Each structure stands twice: as C-alpha cells, then as structure tokens.
Structure 1
Amino acid sequence: MTSMNRTVALLLAASLLSGCAMSSGLSAPASEPPAQWLNQQRASQAMVHHPRWWTQFGSAELDRLVRRALEANTDLQAATARIEQADAQLTQAGASLFPTLGLSTGASRSGTIGAGGTTEGYSANLNASYELDLWGALRNNRDAAKASLLASRFARDTVQLTVLASVVNTYLQVRYLQDSLILTEDNLRLAERLLEQVRAKVENGAVSPQDLAQQRTVVANARAQLPDLRQQLRQSRYALAVLVGETPQGFTVDGGELESLTLPDIQAGLPDQVLAQRPDIAQAQASLMAADRQVAIARADYWPSITLTGSGGYSSSDLSSLLSGDALYNLALSLPQTLFDGGARSARVDQATAAWEEQRAGYVGTLLTALQEVEQSLGSVQALAAQQQYRDEAYQQAQEAYRIARVRYREGATELTDVLNAQSSFNSARQNRLDLAYSQYQSRVTLYRVLGEGGEARADEVLAPNA
C-alpha cells in the first residue's frame, strides 16, 4: 500500500470512528409537575397562556410604558448583547470541526557581498490542518457552546419577565401612592374641619382647651405625612423612568385612581405546562447540559488527539515560471499522547464533574423554587379575595361610626376622644381598603411572573393587536 493510500485509509477510518463521541454518562434529574396543587380549585383559561397579560389591566398608558421598556430597557439590551456573544462563541466552537486552510508565499535573494552573482527563489504553498474528532471533544465543545447559547436566550427571557413585572408593579405603585396622597389630604381636610368645630366650642366655653390641643395634634400629624408621601411618589416615578430607559428628570406619569384599573379575573387553577413555561427552569436545564458536555470534554483528554497536516505548492527561481516550477507536497500525521501529567487530567475531570453537580443542584433548586412560588402566589390570590367583603364592610361601618360621632360631638352628647377614635378607625379603614386593592393588583402581577407568562413576548408582539 502506498503512502497516499494509507493516508486515504486513515481518513476513512477516522471519519467512521468520529461518530463515536464520548459522553459524560451522568444522569440529569427529571422534572414533573405535582399531581395536585394545594391551592388549585379549577382550571382557568386566563392562566393558560397570556403572553401580553398586562393589557388586562385596561390602561393604555401602562401598555405604552411596557412597549418602551421592551425597546429601551438597559438590562434587556445587555442580556441581548450576551446572546450575541454566546452566538459568536458557538460559531468559534463549530469552526474547529472543519479543516483550516492557509496560503503562504515567499521570495528570497542570496549572494556573496563583493562578488558577482545572486540566487533568487520564489514559492507559493497551500497549507491544510485538520484535527480528527475521534473522541468527540470538538463536538462536545460545540454542543456545550450551543447549550450556553440557549441558556443566554432563556436568561434574556428571565430578565424580560423581571422587567415586565417591575414596570407593571412600579406603575401600580405610582397610582397607589397618588391615591394615598389624595386620601391623606382628604383626612387632613376632615381633621381641619373638626378643628374649627373644636375651636368654636372652646371659644364658647363648651369644652376644655385640651380638646383643642388634641385636635391640633391630629392635624399636625396628618400634615407631616404629606412630604414623605410626595417624596415616595417622586421616587417611584424615577424608578419607572429608569425601567423604560428614560431620564428621571422631566418624566411624568398621568396615573389615575388605582381602582379604575381592571382587576384580571383569575381563578385558582393552574396549567400542567407551568414548568415548561418558566425561562429560568429552561436556563438552568441548558446550563446543566453545557456542564455535562464539559465533563465529556475533560474525559477526552485521556485519549490521544490526531491531527493531519498537509501542504502543496510550487517553488521556482523565476517568478514568471513559478506555477510551472517544481511541485512540492507534504503530508504529516501528529498523534501526541500524554503519559504522565501529575494528575492534571484527573483533576480537570473532577473539576468538570463538580461543576456539573453544582449545575444539577441549581437546576433542582430552581424547580423547587418555581413550585413554591406558584403555590404561594395561588394562595395569596385566594386569601386576598377572601378579605374583600370584610374590608368593604369595615369601611362602611367605620364611615357610619365617624359620622355619628361628629354629630353627637356637635350636639355635646359625647367627648372628643370618641370622635378621635372614630376618625382614626375611619382613616384606617379607608387606607386598609386601598392597601387591599393594591395588593390584589400586585398578586396578579406576581402570579403571571411565576407562571412564566410574558418572557417570550417581544416588542413587535406587544405592538400587535390583542389576540
């Protein structure tokens, strides 16, 4: 068999053997949803698939803010750039499966100084090098890069989920603080009205000046709440501006009454595909896949790597006759094998395996966290709904008690202390009612976030009409 035939045979054998790539042999944990959710009552179509869930709140301003966030949020832009980096790394890893080609040209002149005569030489060579992927190290490296790319894409979806929830929650907070400010200003007006009534009674000698001091304290405390609420409202607007990629200075929100928004009607059911919808679970799974490939790559170091190199070209003493000069070729095979490395390869395998165990634990932890978050969110939706009728009743009763107390105090049938207690109960009932409404809106946002809804939506989908 000639040397050329041997080379061809070796290439054919290498092609067949390269299909037997090494794998890590490690077992990934299975992921299955629970057979029964503790807070599940019945299925709800509103929870099955709604990637544009924020539109259910019925606010055109909120829809506009979400659109701006998807287009200009800096965290999303950074996550998108990380995807592009991972895509470039995948291209680099895949390139190692192909041979590398190079072209080299040269010219030389030689002679003796002071003596006549020179010798000229010209050459042109095409070089090729190819590493045979006998043990799958190169393909595993490519597959690891592919899994890392998937992890980057799912990480971006996770960032998007967080951004969406943050935009909606911050917008709700702005409207909640606006209502709280209005409520506090209204409480102040009621307290000032009662203060005038107490002052008139003191001037007429009907009550003690102590009543006047007590009511002045109530008024002062109400006024003291306003600066802090206004500052909280400004801070929420600043935070919302940053989320949508705008400068806080000059950023405004129209807002409006919180309870004018639509509260999405969500029953306490749950789709079975919840674990498949969450991008953080998919990200953890992709990272586990990448770690698995790294173990296989480390194990491949125990086997020799085979590299084929070849070159062919022309050499001539005359540039004009280069291509008709002497034809040269060179074929070589390199098969390096490490015999002793002081345990370095074993340590690399141990390190890769430990990294896989870390990713495995993170994957299981992500699964458990997802189940916990969904269960808690379902329970929160139910608990808040159960409070609604009691908060409404408390508000109505407190309002009536405060009205009666003011009338009786004006008629001199009761003490100021009774009025102040009734006023405090009424103010608390109003605030509790507002707090409950705010919590119910937030519980919807949390539920959609933990269900993984909206992570796959893009700005162009947001611009599309509702399905």
Structure 2
Amino acid sequence: MTSPSRSIALLLAATLLSGCAMSSGLNAPPPELPAQWLNQQQASRAMLEHPRWWEQFGSDELDRLVTQALDANTDLLAAAARVEQADARLAQAGASLFPSLGLNAGASRNGTIGAGGSSESYEARLNASYEVDLWGALRNSRDAAKASLLASRFDRDTVRLTVIASVVDTYLQVRYLEDSLALTEDNLRLAERLLDQVRAKVENGAVSPQDLAQQKTVVANARARLPDLRQQLHQSRYALAVLVGETPQGFRVGGGELAALTLPDIQPGLPDQVLARRPDIAQAQASLMAADYQVAAARADYWPSITLTGSGGYSSSDLSSLLRGDALYNLALSLPQALFDGGARQARIDQARAAWDEQRAGYTGTLLTALQEVDQALGNVQALADQQQYRDEAYRQAEEAYRIARIRYREGATELTDVLNAQSSFNSARQNRLDLAYDQYQSRVTLYRVLGEGGDSLVESSSSLEGPDSA
C-alpha cells in the first residue's frame, strides 16, 4: 500500500472512531411537570385556547397597539438581533466540523546583489486541513451553540410576552385613569352643587358660615386632585407610546370607559401544559443544556487531537509552463498531546462544571417561580371575584345614604357633617368599585403572562434539548 493510500485509510478509520463522543456525565433535572400540578382535578382551557388572549378584551384599538408593538418595540427588536447573533455563532461552530480548503499561488525571484543572473520559480497549491473530532469536542461545542441559539429564541419569546402584557396593562391603566379623572370631576360637580345649597342657606341665615367653610374645603380638595390625575394620565400615555415604538409627544390613544371592555372569563383549575408553555422555563432548560455540552467539550481536552493536512499542486521555473511543471503533494497527520499544563485543562473543566451548577440552580429556581406566580395569579382572580358582590352592595348603600342625607339637610333635619360623611362614603364606594374593576382586568393580564401565553416559538421538540451523546 502506497503512502497516500495509507494516509487515506487512516483518515477513514479516524472518521469512524469520531462517532464515539464524550459525555458530560452530569444529570440534569427532569423537565416534567411537578406532581402536584398533574394531580389537579380540573384543568382550565381558557388560557391555552387563546394564544391571542388580548383580543378577548374586545378593543380594536388595543389589538392595533399590540400589533404595532410586536413590529416596533425596541426591546423586542434587540432580542431578535440577539437571536441572529446566536444563529451566526452556531454557523461558526458548525463550520469546524468540515474540512477547510485553500488555494495558495506564489512567485519568487532569487539572486545575489551585485552579481549577474537570477532564478525565478512559480507555484500553485491546493491545501486541505481536517481535524478529526475523535472525542466529540467540536460536536459538543456545536451543540452548545445550538442550545444557546434555542435559549436566545426563548429569551426573545419572553421579551415578546412581556411586551404584550405591558402594552395591555398600560392601555388598561390609561382607561382606568380616564375613568378616575371623570369620577373625580363628577365628585367635584356634586360638591359644588352642595356648596351652592350651603351658600344659599348661609345667606338666608339657616346655617352658620362654618358649614360654608367646610364645604369650600371639600371643593378645594376635589379640585386639587385633578392636576395629579391628569399628569398620571399623560405619563401612562407616554409609557404606552414608548412600548409601541412611537414618539411620546405625538402619540394619541382613544381610550374610553373601562366598563366598555370585556372581562375574559377564567375557569377554575390549572392548565396541565402551563410549564411547558412558559418561554423562561424553556430558556433556562436550553441554557442548562448548553452548559452540559460545554462540560463535555472541556473534558475532551484531556485527549489528543488529530489533524489531517494535505496539499497538492505544481511548481515551475516558467509561469507559462506552470501546469506542465513538477506535480507536488504533501500529506501529514499531527497528534499533539499536552503532558503538563499546570492544571489549565482541569481548571477549564471546573469552570464549565461551575457554570453548569449555576444553570441548574437557575433552572430549578425558574420552575419554582412559575409555580408561585401561577398559584398567586389564580388566587388573585378568585379573591377579586369574591369581592364583587360586596363592593356593589357598598356602592348601592352609600349612594342611598348620600341621597337621604342631602334631602334631610335641604329640609333642615340634619347637620352638614352628616352630609359630608355620607358624601365621603359615596365617593369612596365609587372609587373602590372602579379600582376593583381595574384590578380584575389586570389580574387577567397577569394570569395570561405567567401562563406563558403570547410567545412565538414556545413549543420546540424535546429532541432539540437533549444532552450530549454517551460514548
């Protein structure tokens, strides 16, 4: 067997051996759902059947704002750019598994300074180099880049989900503040109407000027609340403008009464698939897998690497006859092995292992946080629903008490203090009912967010997150 043939045979043997990759040997926590979630007797389908959950609020303006934010939000654009960077890093890592080819052409002239005569030479060579991935270092590095790409995609989905929830939440806040402003203005009108009544009584000598001073204080306090509410409304509109990628100063939002929106209906129980749909959990798992591959790649440094190189071409002293000149070739195999490095390789393994421990802790923490957030969100929805009938009853009774107090004061059967107390209770009841409605809308947004609804590529095949292959 000739030397080139032996080299080719060695290349084939090394390529076959490279199918045995090293494993990290670490045990990642299983991604299955906790048992206490799987044992739920009643599962809600309301979340899982509405990936475009914001449409359930029944606002065309809100739908438009969410669509605009998905196209123009700066945080989401930055997250998409990070995905492209991770994709490029994966392409770079994958390129190391293929041979590299290069062409080298050159010309030279040799002679002695001061002496006549010179010689010329021309050469053209095709060079090839290939590192045999015998221990899986290159493949594990590629797979780590692949897992990192998945993590960046899930991170983008987390940003997408946060942007959607922020747009809906801020839009609800705008409508809530508009309602609060209108409610305060109405309370002011009621206070001014009573002020006119008190002023008439003072002019007729029916009551003392103290009543007039008291009611003027009520009116002044009501007027003082208006500038702050208007400023809060401006700030919420500006925040919404930034979320959808517009200049705050020129942004306009129609808004409207909060009661005009539809409150999404939430069924009891926990969705069985909730953890599998949260992009932050998928991102944590992908990051853990990337760290796993990095450990396996670091361990491969203990074994020698095999690099095959070869070149072939022509050499001639005359450029015109280069391709008819001497045919040259070169085949080489290198097998470097570090015998002593002062502990550098072990330090790299220790660093990779510590990074894996960090990702494992983060993954477990993300799971626990998801359980906490969903449980709290569901409990908040139920608690707010339980308050509804009591808030409505308090409003009706306060309204009736205020009506009776005004009649009795007009007839001179009660003091102004009783009217002011009834008026304060009525104003509080109206505001409490508005606050409850706003909190109920917000509780839906929070629940959709913690359930992971609204992501893009949230469902990936489980095979794309498997750990390094065993030997």
Specify if TM > 0.5. yes
1:36, CA displacement in angstroms? Answer: 4.3
Q: Determine if the alignment matches structure 1 residue 157 to structure 2 residue 157.
A: yes
CA drift of 1:302 comes to 0.7
Distance in 1, Cα, partners of 2:260 & 2:224: 28
- Partner SS for 2:249: coil
Once residues 132 and 316 of structure 1 are traced to their aligned partners in structure 2, the CA distance between those partners, rounded to angstroms, is: 34
Change (3 A) 1:262 1:289: same
Report if aligned partners of 2:44, 2:268 keep a CA contact under 8 Å in 1.
yes
Q: Is the 8 Å Cα contact of residues 47 and 270 (structure 1) preserved in structure 2?
A: no
Q: Distance in 2 between matches of 1:152 and 1:37?
A: 28
Please identify, of 98-107 and 116-125, the stretch whose mean Cα deviation from structure 2 is larger: 116-125
SS in structure 2 of the partner of residue 50 of structure 1: coil
Q: Partners of 1:37 and 1:308 in 2: how far apart?
A: 54
Q: Which residue in the other structure is 1:336 paired with?
A: 336
Report what 2:388 is aligned to: 388
Once the 2 structures are TM-superposed, how far is the Cα of residue 30 of structure 1 from its aligned partner? 1.5
Q: How many residue pairs were aligned?
A: 458
Secondary structure of the 1:365 match is helix
Q: Is the 8 A contact 1:316 1:325 kept in 2?
A: yes
Q: Which residue of 2 aligns with 1:258?
A: 258
**1:13-37 residue CA offsets vs partner (Å, 9 max, x unmatched):** 2111100101101011113334445
Q: Measure, in 2, the Cα distance between the counterparts of 1:216 and 1:319.
A: 106
In the other structure, the counterpart of 1:9 is 9
Note the 1:366-377 alignment, pairs <5 A. 366-377=366-377
Q: How does 1:423-442 map to 2 (within 5 A)?
A: 423-442=423-442
SS of residue matched to 2:121:
strand
1:369 Cα deviation from its structure 2 partner: 0.5
SS in 1 for 2:108: strand
Counterpart-to-counterpart distance in 1, 2:326 and 2:126: 14
- Asked if 1:407 corresponds to 2:390, the answer is no
Determine the C-alpha separation between the residues in 1 that align with 2:414 and 2:271.
Answer: 58
Offset at residue 107 of structure 1 (A): 0.8
CA contact (8 A) 1:39 1:379 kept: no
After superposition, residues 182-193 of structure 1 pair within 5 angstroms as 182-193=182-193
- Asked if 1:291 corresponds to 2:303, the answer is no
1:81 match: 81
Matched residues in 1 for 2:107 and 2:315: separation?
10
User: SS of the residue aligned with 2:26?
Assistant: coil
Q: 1:14 to 1:119 in 2, by over 3 A?
A: same
Q: How far apart, CA to CA, are the structure 2 residues paired with 1:39 and 1:390?
A: 33
Match of 1:279 in 2: 279
CA distance in 2 between counterparts of 1:59 and 1:40 reads: 33
CA contact (8 A) 1:40 1:378 kept: no
Q: Does residue 138 of the first structure (1) align with residue 138 of the second (2)?
A: yes
In the TM superposition, 1:84-95 aligns within 5 A as 84-95=84-95
Which residue does the alignment assign to 1:174? 174
The DSSP-based 3-state class of the residue aligned with 2:250 is coil
CA distance in 1 between counterparts of 2:34 and 2:282 reads 18
- Secondary structure, aligned partner of 2:337: coil
Question: Hey, what's the Cα distance between the residues in 2 that align with 1:323 and 1:223?
Answer: 96
| Runs of 5+ consecutive residues of structure 2 not aligned to the other structure | 459-471
Correspondence for 1:464: none
* Displacement after TM superposition at 1:267 (Å): 1.1
* Maintained 8 Å contact 1:313/1:327: yes
Paired residues for 1:21-60 under 5 Å? 21-36=21-36, 42-60=42-60
Identity %: 85
TM-superposed CA distance for 1:111, in Å, is: 2.5
Q: Determine the C-alpha separation between the residues in 2 that align with 1:392 and 1:376.
A: 25
CA contact (8 A) 1:18 1:133 kept: yes
Question: Does the residue aligned with 1:327 lie in a helix, a strand or coil?
Answer: strand
The one-character-per-residue Cα deviations of 1:53-101 (angstroms, maximum 9, x if unpaired) are 0000000000000110011001110000000000000000000000111
Q: What letter is aligned with 2:450?
A: V
Aligned position for 1:71: 71
Q: Give 2:194's aligned residue.
A: 194
RMSD (Å) for aligned C-alpha atoms: 1.5
Q: Give the corresponding residue for 1:121.
A: 121
Find the aligned partners of 1:246 and 1:48 in 2 and give their Cα distance. 31
- 1:119-147: CA deviations, max 9, x gaps? 11100011111111010000000000000
For the pair 1:348 / 2:340, whether they are aligned, the reply is: no
2:203 alignment partner AA: E
Of residues 24-33 and 13-22 in structure 1, the stretch that sits farther from structure 2 once superposed is 24-33
> Structure 1 unaligned runs (5+)?
459-467
Residue of structure 2 equivalent to 1:302: 302
How far apart, CA to CA, are the structure 2 residues paired with 1:49 and 1:372? Answer: 23
- Most deviating of 146-155 and 35-44: 35-44
Does the 8 A contact of 2:153 with 2:457 survive in 1?
no
The one-letter code matched in structure 2 to 1:186 is D
One-letter amino acid of the counterpart of residue 225, structure 1? R
Q: Go from structure 1 to structure 2 and tell me whether the alpha carbon gap of 1:22 and 1:457 turns closer, same or farther (over 3 Å shift).
A: closer
Instruction: Give me the whole-angstrom Cα distance separating, in 2, the residues matched to 1:31 and 1:320.
Output: 67
Which is further off, 233-242 or 329-338? 329-338
CA distance in structure 1 between the partners assigned to 2:35 and 2:134 by the alignment = 45
1:114, CA displacement in angstroms?
A: 4.3
d(CA) in 2 for partners of 1:120 and 1:56? 82
CA spacing shift, 1:96–1:38, aligned 2, 3 Å: closer
Tell me the CA shift for residue 4 of structure 1. Answer: 2.1
Match of 2:324 in 1: 324
Partner in structure 1 of residue 462 of structure 2: none
Q: What amino acid is aligned across from residue 206 of structure 2 in structure 1? A: A
CA-CA distance at 1:39 after TM superposition:
12
**What do the CA deviations read for 1:226-267 (whole angstroms, capped 9, x no partner)?**
000000000000000000000001111100000110001111
AA partner of residue 420 (structure 1)? L
Q: Is the 8 A contact 1:381 1:443 kept in 2?
A: yes
In structure 1, what is the Cα distance between the partners aligned to 2:268 and 2:224?
A: 41
Quote how far apart the aligned CAs of 1:295 are: 0.4
1:209 shift after superposition: 1.4
In structure 2, the partner of 1:244 is 244
Contact 1:307 1:334 in 2 (8 A): yes
Q: Give the equivalent residue in structure 2 for 1:461.
A: none
**Match of residue 463 from structure 2:** none
2:38–2:272: 8 Å Cα contact kept in structure 1? no
State the one-letter code of the partner of 1:71: D
Deviates more, 1:270-279 or 1:399-408: 270-279
